[in-house]
Amino acid sequence: MTGTSRDEGGPPDPLAELALELLGIPSPTGDEGELADWLVARYRDEAVERHGNSLVVGAADPTRPQVLLVGHLDVVPPTDADSAPRREGDRLVGRGASDMKGGLAVAMAAFEDPALRQGPYALRLVAYAGEEGPHDGNELGPLLEAVPELEQAGLAVVLEPTDGQVQLGCLGVLNAHVTVSGQAAHAARPWHGENALTKAGPLLSDLGAREPRDVTVDGLAFREVVTVSQGWTENARNVVPDRFTLNLNVRFAPDKDLVEAETAVRELIGDRGEVVIVDRAPAAAPRADAPLLERFVPAIDAPVSPKQAWTDVARFAAHGVPALNYGPGITAQAHQAGEYVEVPALHEALAALRRFLAT
Q: Give the residue numbers annotated as catalytic, written as ranges.
A: 74, 131
Phi, psi (deg, nearest 5) at residue 18: -65, -45
**Residue 67 and residue 292 in contact, taking contact as beta carbons nearer than 8 Å:** yes
- Other beta carbons less than 10 A from residue 121's beta carbon: 22
Distance CA(212)–CA(296), nearest Å, equals 30
Q: Helix, strand or coil for residue 139? A: coil
**Residue 222 and residue 215 in contact, taking contact as beta carbons nearer than 8 Å:** yes
- Widest pairwise Cα distance in the chain: 79
> What burial letters (b/e) apply to 19-52, b meaning 16+ CB within 10 Å?
bbbbbbbbbebeebeebbebbeeebeebebebbe
Distance CA(299)–CA(352), nearest Å, equals 7
Name the strand (E) or helix (H) holding 34: helix 33-42
∠ CA 166-14-16, nearest 5°, is 55
